[in-house]
Each structure stands twice: as C-alpha cells, then as structure tokens.
C-alpha cells in the first residue's frame, strides 16, 4: 500500500470548494428517481442521464472533485462510444465506485439491516482499479426507532465497513466509509446526535482494530439533524453547531476529509447546512458534500428523459454544483438561489 498516494487522492476528493457527485444509485433506487419524473429505467436512459451529468463541463471541472459510479455505469460507453469513466477523467474529476451489494435483514435484530458485499471484494477491487477507479464507497444503514438501533447492528455494520476499508487500501483504492443514520422517523436532533456519536465511535474503533490508515480514507456521515417527521425541526444554525461538535468529538484529525450525504434534505437545506458549518471554522479536516439527491433532484426534473432538455438539465446540475461548491467554502448566500433553467 502506498499511503502517500492514498492520502493525495483523499485530499483531492475534499479539495476546497469542490465535492463529490454521488451518481451510484443502485438499480432499485434509480428506478424510484426515474418513476418520479415519468422516465422508464432502461439501460439506455440511465446511460443518457448520467452522460448528461458527466458532460456538464462547468460543473464537473470547477465544483466536482469525484464521481461515485454504480457497477453498470463504470463499464458503460457514452453514445459516441467514449467510456463514461473517461468523460469523468477528462473533466479532471476522480472516478469512484460503489462496491457494497446493498443490505439484508440482520438475523435476531428485527427491523435492522446489515450491508453485504465482502465476498470476492478483493477481486472486484482489482478490476475496478484497472478500469480507473481510485476510490470506493460502502454504505451502512442504521435506523432510529423504538428500541433501535441495537448495539449488535452498530457493531456488525462497523465491522463490515472496516473490513471493506482495509481491502480497499490494500488494493490502492481510497475507501469512503459511509455509516448513514437515517433521518426517517420522528426523533429529534438530540437523539440523532446521540445515535450518530455511538455509530461513529464504533466505526473508528473497528477501523483502528483492522489497521485502516485514517490518512487514506474519507468519511461520509449524516449530519446531526431532526427526523423528517419530528414536530420541532432544528434550525440551520443548530444543525451546523451540533454536527461540528459531534464530528470534532468523534473523527480524528488524521482523516483528510468528511463529505456529507444529503439523506433526503431539500436541495437548499443541504447547501445551507454545509455553508453554516464552514462559518464555524477553522476545522481539522476538509468538509464538503457527497450528495446524491441534493445535487440531482433539480437536473432530473429539468431533463425528464427528453433529449431536447439536456442543456436545461446540465444548467440545473451546474447551478446546484456551484451552490454547494460555494457552501463548501462558507461563501454561499440564499440570494444566489435563482432558478437555473
């Protein structure tokens, strides 16, 4: 393992003013997104949609440091035969790959999930590296509810995250470690804070036990935030203050960067929260976005599966990428949010 090179890539993934485009929706998730805009989830439509994003030059070259791909996409070619991964490289962004294989019910723990995909992972990583992937992603899902999460669910998911991270580093690939505490439910921000703290502490304990080099990874956490159905929604300032307090308590400064998931926040909320956190600096790590929905909801709507809407879709994507790029430096203002298309 060349740790200097892993650290160089991890640092580039969280470069100031840039963040990660999470375009790695699994087949089930992208179908849901396409259903919402009335588009059939065919291989060709998925290709056309993602090609539209990767060819958005302004966004890709100025605000996007890396792109997380799904297995199908990393092997796909653009309409003109150029591999999609080449479009990403040509824009100056780093290609990455989702390597988990989704979740399964966790035995003896009703309602809880464990992420799978460790079998044959070493072989798969080798192929992805040869294809050009320089980082990977694995997402653990922790739900908050009555009596959950159990310590069992937190432990097995942390163990799997660390197993994955160690395999990545051995394959010269930077692992994005994503323990997502879901924002579904009516819990308040303090319960999210407490559960996320337990999850992060256990995750870093496992990473240490399994000898993962913290200098060669990126953390992708949720923010400390109110549950979607909580009657009392925390303000932007409270989310920023509690998230930074929590991360400072749980994430060692050796970690080069933290890139948040959006988790179902509205586009503008996700941007405003990141921006407010940067007002609380200086911070010991790079802090940016790795958004799926909060970067793509607007372009998906603008595109709606029609070739004549590609330019509008790219404008919508560029706008969100720019807003989040500014937020990643604490330079965003709500007045910059005019309609892109």
Smallest gap from Cβ 255 to ligand FBP, in A, equals 18
233 binds ligand FBP (CB under 6 A): no
Question: CB within 8 A of 28, min separation 6: which ones?
Answer: none
Nearer Cβ to ligand FBP, position 28 or 147? 28
Q: How far apart are CA 336 and CA 105, in angstroms?
A: 44
- The token duo for 73 is 């996409």
Whichever of 80 and 119 has its CB closer to ligand FBP, that residue is: 119
Sketch the per residue contact string, 178 through 217, with ligand FBP: x for CB under 6 A, - otherwise. Answer: x---------------------------------------
Give the DSSP H or E segment for 82: none
Give me the helices (H) in 189-337, please: 189-209, 236-250, 267-278, 293-303, 310-327
Binding mask 129-158 vs ligand FBP (x if CB under 6 A, - otherwise)? ----------x-------------------
Of residues 22, 99, 166, 328, which one binds ligand FBP by CB under 6 A? Answer: 22
Toward ligand FBP, which CB reaches closer, 60 or 254? Answer: 60
How many other CB atoms are found less than 10 A from the CB of residue 9? 20
Whose tokens are 């432990």? That residue is 155
Query: Smallest gap, in angstroms, from Cβ of residue 324 to ligand FBP?
Result: 11
Is 219 one of the binding residues for ligand FBP (CB under 6 A)?
A: no
Closest CA to 322 of 49, 18, 77, 37: 18
Q: Convert residues 32-71 into a mask of x (bound to ligand FBP by CB under 6 A) and - (unbound).
A: ------------------------------------x---
User: Which span sits near ligand FBP by CB under 6 A: 9-17, 41-49, 289-297, 317-325?
Assistant: 289-297
Please name the residue that has the structure tokens 């995250």: 161
User: 76 with 47: CB under 8 angstroms?
Assistant: yes
**Active site (catalytic) residues:** 178, 220
Cα gap 157→204, rounded to integer Å: 12
Q: Which tokens sit at 64? A: 């996007």
- Positions touching ligand FBP (CB under 6 A) are 22, 24-26, 29, 68, 139, 178, 261-263, 291-294
């Amino acid at each position: 393992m060349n740790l200097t090179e892993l650290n160089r890539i991890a640092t580039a993934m969280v470069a100031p003013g840039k963040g990660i485009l999470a375009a790695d929706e699994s087949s089930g998730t992208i179908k849901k997104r396409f259903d919402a805009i009335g588009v059939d989830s065919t291989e060709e439509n998925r290709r056309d949609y993602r090609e539209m994003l990767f060819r958005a030059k302004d966004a890709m070259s100025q605000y996007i440091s890396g792109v997380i791909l799904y297995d199908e996409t990393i092997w796909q070619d653009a309409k003109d035969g150029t591999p999609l991964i080449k479009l990403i490289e040509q824009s100056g962004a780093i290609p990455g790959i989702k390597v988990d294989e989704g979740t399964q019910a966790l035995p003896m723990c009703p309602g809880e999930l464990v992420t799978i995909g460790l079998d044959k992972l070493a072989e798969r990583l080798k192929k992805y590296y040869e294809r050009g992937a320089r980082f990977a992603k694995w997402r653990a899902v922790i739900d908050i509810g009555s009596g959950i999460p159990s310590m069992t669910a937190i432990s097995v998911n942390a163990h799997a995250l660390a197993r994955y991270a160690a395999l990545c580093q051995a394959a010269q690939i930077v692992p994005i470690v994503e323990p997502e505490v879901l924002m579904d439910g009516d819990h308040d921000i303090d319960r999210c804070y407490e559960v996320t703290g337990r999850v992060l502490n256990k995750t870093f304990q496992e990473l240490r036990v399994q000898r993962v080099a913290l200098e060669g990874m990126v953390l992708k956490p949720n923010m400390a935030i109110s549950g979607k159905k909580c009657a009392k929604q925390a303000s932007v300032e409270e989310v920023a203050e509690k998230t930074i307090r929590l991360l400072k308590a749980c994430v060692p400064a050796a970690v080069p960067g933290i890139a948040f998931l959006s988790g179902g926040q509205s586009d503008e909320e996700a941007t405003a929260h990141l921006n407010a956190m940067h007002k609380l600096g200086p911070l010991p790590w790079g802090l940016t976005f790795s958004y799926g929905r909060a970067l793509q909801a607007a372009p998906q709507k603008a595109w709606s599966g029609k070739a004549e809407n590609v330019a509008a879709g790219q404008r919508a994507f560029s706008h969100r990428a720019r807003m989040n790029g500014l937020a990643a430096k604490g330079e965003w203002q709500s007045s910059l949010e005019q309609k892109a298309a």
